[in-house]
Amino acid sequence: MKYLLIDDQAENGWKTILAKAVLKEEGSLDIANSYEVALEKIEYPWDLIFLDLRLSEQDHNANSIVDYLGFKLLLKIRKDFKGENFCTPIILITASNKIWNIEMLRDNGIDAFYIKEHPDYKFDQKTSRQNLESLQFSFLHLKEIGSKRREIWKLCNCIVKKLGTHSYFKTQDKKYVNIKERIIDKIKLGYTQLFKVQTSFEKTILPAYNESFSFIIFWSILEEITKGFTNILETWNPPLYQRDTNWKFRNVEYFIEKRNDAIVLNYFRDDKSLRKGSKTLDKATSEFKKYYADSLLNLSEQVYSLLAAYSNDDSAFQKLCEIFKPLNKYRNDNDFIHSSVLNIATKKLITENAKKEAYLKNKEILEFIKMILELRV
């Protein structure tokens, strides 16, 4: 793992101290001993950044924290979700123990802090040890959290980038621009929810299940995706956008119109023979093109329809379905959407195993969204 120390005093002992007392051979530590060098270094990804607040003699004469070069670097790192180190944990290294400064830095994105000791104002031995142990704990904790943040951030950022180049969303049409912006907002909301930090007080009193809530947010992106792949004006009448005709994809294929008959029901039970080797179900039988005014498609049916219409062949379609089915089941079994009697009567709401599973499902739903955006259109 690669770590960066941004400190004008890095080569005057601080790099050695961090390497021996904190990293302990946990990876390589690079340095940036000036603001200018730091600007270059933060263009590359790091697993964790140690950031000094004052980086020049000028900083020691500054009247406000907003004038410190370290604070300006912090703002640059955290200003853009697409920035290379937006997700990177940052530990502040500072000689200032002013609580209002530390709170302001927390508000702007630091994850932890270490107060430097000065020979003229050094702590007693017990406090010094606690100060160091707090830094060591923060490092180990943030190293683990940082890996997860980067893992999810990469997927989120990849989706944001694909939306920017996708032919369906690279348009001036306000409807599809709005859909793109909603997806990006949900990406950021899901990321924020997943890595929301509780205070010690909250951890003691208030239960948290961030992993499950973020999954629900990421899952809801599928609503925007299916509409983004739909020819909206040929399907709904503005300004209220009520259903008017067959629900049509933008590649001129049709959604499967929900029918209360064995053909549709069997299809959603994965009867492959019904597809008759054709690319989409509307080619297998004209029945699926018929319009029924009272027909409504739930989200899972919309997604299956999208996969059928845009898959290159049956093999690709089945592969995507096999990815989607367990995600759909997990959503249907989610206690915050559908609490089954079995869960209510026999299972705890929040467990460590449930949190781990929910985290993995966050990764899977983001991977699935990315796959849809990679389909040929």
HSE-CB at 281 with a 13 A cutoff on CA atoms is 29
Asked if residue 124 has pLDDT above 50, the reply is: yes
CATH for 2-150, options being 2.40.30.20, 3.40.50.720, 3.90.1300.10, 3.40.50.2300: 3.40.50.2300
Asked if residue 258 has pLDDT above 80, the reply is: no
**Residue 115 burial by Cβ neighbours in a 10 Å radius (0-12, 13-18, 19+):** middle
Question: Between these two residues, 13 and 213, which has the higher pLDDT value?
Answer: 213
DSSP for 324-357 reads: HHHHHHHHHT-TTT---HHHHHH--S--HHHHHH
- Residue 18 near residue 1, CB atoms below 8 Å: no
Give me the pLDDT at residue 144, please: 93
Asked if residue 293 has pLDDT above 70, the reply is: no
Question: Out of 7-16, 84-93, 280-289, 300-309, which region has the weakest mean confidence (pLDDT)?
Answer: 280-289
Asked if residue 279 has pLDDT above 60, the reply is: no
Report pLDDT digits (tens) over 28-51: 999 999 999 999 999 999 999 999
The winner for highest mean pLDDT among 121-125, 215-219, 316-320, 345-349 is: 215-219
Contacts of residue 340, defined as CB under 8 A and 6 or more positions apart, other chains included, come to 333
CA terminus-to-terminus distance, the chain: 39
> Average pLDDT for residues 231-255, to the nearest whole number?
84
HSE-CB at 255 with a 13 A cutoff on CA atoms is 29
Give me the pLDDT at residue 272, please: 46
- Which of 106, 128, 110 has its CA nearest to residue 118? 128
Delimit the CATH 3.40.50.2300 region(s) of the chain: 2-150
Report pLDDT digits (tens) over 140-168: 999 999 999 999 999 999 999 999 999 99
What is the average pLDDT value for the chain, to the nearest integer?
A: 86
Cα–Cα distance, 26 to 19 (Å, whole number): 9
The continuous run of DSSP H or E covering 242 comes out as strand 242-243
- Which of 146, 38, 35, 127 has its CA nearest to residue 87? 146
The winner for highest mean pLDDT among 52-61, 229-238, 327-336 is: 327-336
Asked if residue 172 has pLDDT above 70, the reply is: yes
Report pLDDT digits (tens) over 175-221: 999 999 999 999 999 999 999 988 888 888 998 999 999 999 999 99
SS3 content of the chain, % helix, strand, coil (to 5): 55, 10, 35
Tell how strand 242-243 and strand 236-237 pair up: antiparallel
- Residue 256 near residue 297, CB atoms below 8 Å: yes
> Average pLDDT for residues 345-373, to the nearest whole number?
96
DSSP for 189-238 reads: HHHHHHTPPPPHHHHHHS---HHHHHHHHHHHHHHHHHHHTB-STTTEET
pTM: 0.86
* Residue position matching structure tokens 């699935």: 368
Give me the pLDDT at residue 219, please: 98
Cα–Cα distance, 51 to 102 (Å, whole number): 13
Cα–Cα distance, 230 to 248 (Å, whole number): 6
pLDDT confidence tier of residue 256, bands split at 50, 70 and 90: low
> Average pLDDT for residues 328-333, to the nearest whole number?
94
Cα–Cα distance, 338 to 330 (Å, whole number): 10
Cα–Cα distance, 12 to 218 (Å, whole number): 47
The residue type of 308 is: A
Give me the pLDDT at residue 289, please: 42
- Residue 49 near residue 85, CB atoms below 8 Å: yes
Reading the block at residue 65, the tokens are 């924290």
pLDDT-above-90 percentage for the chain: 59
Give me the pLDDT at residue 374, please: 97
Helix locations, 237-351, DSSP H: 262-267, 281-284, 299-310, 314-332, 341-346
Give me the pLDDT at residue 41, please: 97
Asked if residue 248 has pLDDT above 90, the reply is: no
